[in-house]
Structure 1
Amino acid sequence: MRVEFGVLGPVTAWNEAAEPLALRGPRHRAVLARLLVARGHVVPVSRLVEDLWGPEPPLDAVSSVRTFVAALRRALEPDRTPRTPSRLLVTEGPGYALRADHDAVDAWRFETLVTSSTPAMSSLSSFSAEPVPAEVAERLKTALDLWRGPAYADVAEEPWARAERTRLTELRLTAAERRAEAQISLGAVAEAVADLDAHVAEHPWREDAWQLLALALYRSGRQVDALSLVRRARRMLREHLGLAPGPRLGRMEEDILRHAEHLDPGPQGSVARVWAQASAAYDTMVPSRARTRLESTAGLMRDLAVTGGGGLEAARRHRVAAVAAAEQLGDPELTARVIGAYDVPAIWTRSDDPAQAEWLVAAAERTLLRLPSGVRAAARAGLLATVAVESRGTLPVAETPTGAAVRPLRAARQAEAIARRLDDASLLVFALNGVFMQTFRRAGLSGHRDRIGAEIVSLAARHSLVTYEVLGHLIRMQSRCAVSDFAAADRHASAADALSDRHELPLVSVFTTWYRALRTAMTAPADTAEAAYREAATSLTGAGMPGLESGLLPLALLCLSVSRGATPTVASDADWGPYGPWVRPLLLVSEGRRKEAAELLRSVPSPPRDLLYEALWCLLAQAAVQAGEPTCMRRAHTALTPAASELAGAGSGLLTLGPVAGYLEALAAQR
């Protein structure tokens, strides 16, 4: 049975069910406390006798100690077989030792949490505004929550406990101040003010605490209160405690009076300063011709890509330049790292720049051919995942110089297999993104994509891969929408929005805004639905996603009309973008030009195998039924049958033509 010990408050012990153990009387607890103070070292029986009774112990003191130890052993190890040695409270040499695990004693866990939180307190004299990681504040909160009262409360007056109690108490005060400093740096000044106010009231000699409270008040906009507090602290230290205030309180007063910038630089000033210092140091220390600059550039472009439209466009442009530069150096391993470093999640199945995507796929394939056999498997997997993601299932297969080609679906599966073998979460979510992009070989695969999205969410959440956690939620939003599970789709859209707000990922709202327009189109009057789509279209302005934007609004409005049985009304200047070949037959039918529509339907190619595959086939099916063209009707019926239980187009999370089953029924009635 695992036993945990508590000394941050009354001395106690708990079993693995968190139930307190019966430690009997105060002498038993004193023996346990004395052994815990020794931190695993042997305490001789003679020392225990002296510590328990002082210089004049009773005649039976030694036998009493043995009785106490025996009772403690029974309480701590109730399942131990009689006459077998104790594994926890052991007899060794002239005395006893408690062999508790380090994480089994609350004081020891507390000390580890505090000392590992930050290497040292940052300079309180300068009040650095550089952010303290949120993990530090959370870890210190966990540490402070371990306290249930004064340390070793049962033996507070014992001389042998005094040093340990003092040390732990000092560490507790330091932890409270360090946590307050972290809160202030993270902007949680209101919480810091409340904590520090109670802290200085109980421990008025803590000069650092006064300074932190003044800083928190200043950053709360209470500058007068901050100045008054500093003056009160100096007066109290001098008059009531007889202590000369340190020079830092004096400087604090001066800084408040002149509104020194370092007291409240604001987030913009802090971020700008950190960026300038770090980039200057990098520029100075890393030679301009160093190959590591290419890898750094690729990583920077990955972060830039999620900052917004301009950032996405710049990231694509500079990414190609970095890959080209790496290839020119003739180092395939470096090129592989540069290509694989740009693991930006992709949700839309049509490329924003097909020519660039085709070039990147070809570069990845060339690099795969040139990689030495002994290169790390992760580099190879990154290249394969890049092929799968960038091809998006719609690009022609690029021929390599040898005439061979890396098939995108095979590349996705190979990348996934390598990532699973390496147990590399970052690589696996990238590979799964590639697998997702290759799941459009036929209609009706929303369930498969939902499972991929669920695994991505799970992996990304466990490993703090925020952008991929968003991707997983968007995939699940699309997939649940396809099967009319709007309650689940709503939850995933909200989760994606919450993550994007918290981590400044503005492009996410493009997809969730369009999804909510789709939700409106499912139930609202036509004019309200149209207004929602037009509003959603404004989110694409400047988003840097032409592969999504081109032709989307006219297509959404056309689908809205068709799903409601209305005759399509199309503006003469409508730009159908890449969807023209599959929209044109229905437009001809709506104009009464059925013969022309039938001729076009007989030669129309199959729609691209992407998120709008079912929607475009439904438009063709509608046109074929109205034009009476049997060949296209047979093709549409075959293509759409696997998606009979889905909403046409809803798997895109953007638009829908209603149930696929309705189009299949109309096709079947004409056969």
Structure 2
Amino acid sequence: MHVEFGVLGPVAAWDETAEPLALKGPRHRAVLARLLIARRRVVPVARLVEDLWGARPPADAVGTVRTFVAGLRRALEPARAPRTPSRLLVTEGPGYALRAAPDRVDAWCFERAAASSADEPPAQAVATLTGALELWRGPAYADFAEEPWARAERSRLTELRLSTVERRAEAQLALGAAAEAVPDLDAHVAEHPWREDAWQLLALALYRSGRQADALSVLRRARRTLREQLGVEPGPRLRRTEEDILRHADHLDPGPADTAAQVWAQATAAYDSTVPSRARTRLESTAGLMRDLAVTGGGGLEAARRHRAAAVAAAEQLGDPELTARVIGAYDVPAIWTRSDDLAQADLLVGAAERTLRLLPPTAHDASRARLLATIAVESRGTPPADGGSARAHQAAHQAEQIARRVNDATLLLFALNGVFMQTFERAGLADRRDTIGAEIMTVAAHHGLFTYEVLGCLIRLQSHGAKGDFTGADRYAAAADALSERHELPLVPVFTTWYRALRTAATEPLPRAESAYREAAKTLDGSGMPGLENGLLPLALLSLQVSHGAPVVFDAHADWGPYEPWVRPLLLLSEGCDQDAVRLLRSVPSPPRDLLYEALWCLLARAAVAVGDRALMRRAHTALEPARDELAGAGSGLLTVGPVAVHLDALADALSRP
């Protein structure tokens, strides 16, 4: 179960459906808060006792802490089988650690967004910082305001929030949106009157809004407040701002930094003043904006994902299925990675699309149906076949494709083909089929000037040629994708091309150079906004590197394996000499998910099965991998490889031939 943790307000936790988890009493919450402050590091039991009770703990304090931890584990992992170790709240050495994923704690997401905005243009920075500030539900660790162990972290986060408010105002001023900055800055200085930078920004925002008298009044109020409440005179920056306003200094109102920014500011202002706030048109405009925002980078992608779900929910509440269909279908953002960034949200979107399909009137345009079907196919990527969702998604993809070809709509066809691509993982060895899809996407997109889909076609063909070991062909498509990325400002594309080049190094260069290439590639994932790609990828790549080079398995005991842990854990146990544990685990391990890493994960399982002599699993692995005999295992991901599938098949055949 995915658990979200909130500390920007009262300490809380939510399950994947956004339902709050029952964390029992204040002591349980205190333990959770203390572990979150430790940021995945171990907190010794003795330290927990000291923090909870001070210098005079009760005699059974250690046992009580263990009881609290046990209660938290039940709340955080209710489906965990009895006597199996917790994967989230772990026991390690002298204490406990909470191994929360980096994107599952609101404070960590806030910090990452605030940091990423520093290199963004003003419009994107405003969106990123606004999204970051929306994570706050109240003061940080609000229910532990008096606890000494929380004081430093509360102060740090509070200061970061205050500076984020001011940085957003600076970005709004740079964008030419001075009037929009005034209300938040006014509230900000009222609550935090000692922040001279905030007073200066408010005065500047008022001046640029044509309110010179109000700007001077604010500066006088700042002087009076600082004197009366703090006993200090305004600093040189505030004094200089007042002088500049009085003489109308040219630098105070340079206008937007460029023509594009000015057009944006004027257009958004006109939209806000013309289109009523309750107009349904705003939902459609929002959906289109989210589509464009998603390809601008990590902060934009995260914001688009969050606001998209809200827009769809708002459209459904209006009870107009045709409007809802347009809002859902407008988000035709190309998707290359087969592991969803947010499974819970994907399920919500698929559910909304299915409901809307049933509610559409017979007179609705076929294109609306096709977009809903394509959405189901794309958002259902990685759905296990056993739950029936895979068959439905496969059907939806091909229905969308048929409609798109019939209505002769190029953009719709590309969206549908994206869904078809996402559903071509029913078995191993389908690189050639995906290459055919990628070729058509490239051709149609280039003919119609749809550059984001042209990039998608390049990346699909890069993956397909990589799977066949054709690095010359893959290089060609990587270069084409990079050229399109640079020309059209698509910052997420280099994430994939950089990882592809690390994969090529892993397949052709010595192990130390390959390991260095993977570690460099991993840096591109920071702030990419793609947790479905990021979580556990570097450890998996390094393990795959060791396996493909025939090196001993050596791993970081603290590594976060993300969603890949069930299929790598047997090998890790074997490397630690825990053979019997590996045998027991292999008996119940599920088949790998049918996605871009299907063959790679089967090869890792096959290696473990051969090592312990698990003949049933060896036969399953051989059957699953045989169709991909001519491919490089995992290279179809464009990210990593565990070497030729044929080598693993031969090892399986040899082991099975022995009595």
Structure 1 letter corresponding to 2:479? S
**1:468 aligned to 2:456?**
no
> Which amino acid counterpart does residue 580 of structure 1 have in structure 2?
E
Residues 347 and 586 of structure 1: CA distance in aligned 2, closer, same or farther (over 3 Å): same
Asked whether the 8 Å contact 1:365–1:405 carries over to 2, the reply is: no
Alignment of 1:319 onto 2:304: no
Contact 1:481/1:489 (8 A) holds in 2: yes
TM-superposition CA deviations, 1:265-316 (whole Å, max 9, x none): 9994111101011111212222221111111100000000000100000001
Q: What does the per-residue CA deviation read over 1:25-66, in whole Å, with 9 as the maximum and x for residues that have no partner? A: xxxxxxxxxxxxxxxxxxxxxxxxxxxxxxxxxxxxxxxxxx
2:122 matched residue in structure 1: none
Assess, with a 3 A threshold, how the Cα gap between structure 1 residues 546 and 394 changes in structure 2: closer, same or farther.
same
Q: What is the CA-CA distance between 1:332 and the residue it aligns to?
A: 0.1
Q: How does 1:97-496 map to 2 (within 5 A)?
A: 268-394=257-383, 407-496=392-481
SS of the residue 1:407 aligns to: helix
Alignment pair present for 1:655 and 2:640: yes
* Distance (Å, rounded) in 2 between the aligned partners of 1:493 and 1:266: 40
Counterparts of 2:634 and 2:390, CA distance in 1:
31
Query: Distance between the aligned counterparts of 2:382 and 2:539, measured in 1?
Result: 24
Asked if 1 retains the 8 angstrom alpha-carbon contact of 2:536 and 2:564, the reply is yes
TM-align CA RMSD? 1.8
Structure 1 contact 358–398 (Cα < 8 Å) conserved: no
1:433-463 superposed Cα distances (whole Å, 9 cap, x missing partner): 0001000010000100000000000000001
Matches of 1:266 and 1:484, distance apart in 2:
54
**Aligned partners of 1:393 and 1:408 also within 8 Å:** no
1:668–1:542 Cα change, 3 Å: same
The 2-side partners of 1:284 and 1:440 are apart by 49
Runs (5+) with no aligned partner, structure 2: 1-249
Q: CA deviation at 1:405?
A: 10
Aligned counterpart, 1:146: none
Shift of 1:327: 0.4
Take 2:358 and 2:650, find their aligned partners in 1: how far apart are those partners?
A: 50
Q: Cα deviation per residue 1:319-378 (whole Å; 9 max; x = unaligned)?
A: 011101100000000000000000000000001111001100000001011111110000
Q: TM-score, normalised by structure 1?
A: 0.59
Distance in 1 separating the partners of 2:292 and 2:385: 29
Between Structure 1 and Structure 2, whose CA radius of gyration is higher? 1
Deviation at 1:525, TM superposition (A): 1.9
**Contact 2:459 2:477 (C-alpha < 8 Å) held by counterparts:** yes
Q: Is the 8 A contact 2:603 2:645 kept in 1?
A: yes
Residues 647, 658 of structure 1: 8 Å contact kept: yes
Q: In the alignment, what sits opposite 2:616? A: 631
Q: Distance in 2 between matches of 1:309 and 1:529?
A: 26
> Structure 1: which amino acid aligns with 2:262?
R
Instruction: List structure 1 segments (4+ residues) > 3 angstroms apart after TM superposition.
Output: 265-268, 395-399
Aligned residues with identical type, % of pairs: 73
What's the TM-score, normalizing by structure 2? 0.60
Moved more, 488-497 or 517-526: 517-526
Using the alignment, how far apart are the partners of 2:627 and 2:568 within structure 1?
Answer: 22
For residue 588 of structure 1, what is the aligned residue in structure 2?
Answer: 573
Asked whether the equivalents of residues 361 and 391 of structure 1 are also in contact (C-alpha less than 8 Å), the reply is yes
Deviation at 1:395, TM superposition (A): 5.9
Q: Structure 1 CA distance, aligned partners of 2:612 and 2:390?
A: 41
Amino acid in structure 1 at the alignment position of 2:378: V
d(CA) in 1 for partners of 2:581 and 2:294? 44
Matched, 1:604 2:589: yes
Structure 1: distance between partners of 2:629 and 2:505: 23
Partners of 1:350 and 1:394 within 8 A in 2: no
Work out whether residues 298 and 527 of structure 2, in 8 Å CA contact, stay in contact via their aligned partners in 1: yes
Partner letter of residue 534 of structure 1? R
Aligned amino acid, residue 274 of structure 1: V
CA drift of 1:586 comes to 1.0
Q: Which amino acid aligns with 1:467?
A: T
CA contact (8 A) 1:361 1:398 kept: no
For 2:541 and 2:403, how far apart are their aligned partners in 1?
40
Alignment partner, residue 74 of structure 2? none
Q: Whole-Å Cα distance in 2 between the matches of residues 501 and 333 of structure 1?
A: 37
Q: How many residues align?
A: 405
The offset of 1:572, in angstroms, is 1.0
* Equivalent residue letter for 1:430: F
The answer on whether the counterparts of 1:397 and 1:406 sit within 8 Å (CA) in structure 2 is no
Spell out, residue by residue over 1:565-619, the C-alpha distance to the aligned partner (whole angstroms, 9 max, x if none): 1111011101100000000111112222222212211211000000000000000
Structure 1 residues 397 and 607: alpha-carbon distance in aligned structure 2, compared to 1, 3 A threshold:
closer
- The aligned amino acid for 2:441 is I
Cα distance between partner residues in 1 of 2:391 and 2:274: 40
Matched-pair contact (CA < 8 Å) for 1:354–1:395:
no
Contact 1:394 1:610 survives alignment (8 Å): no
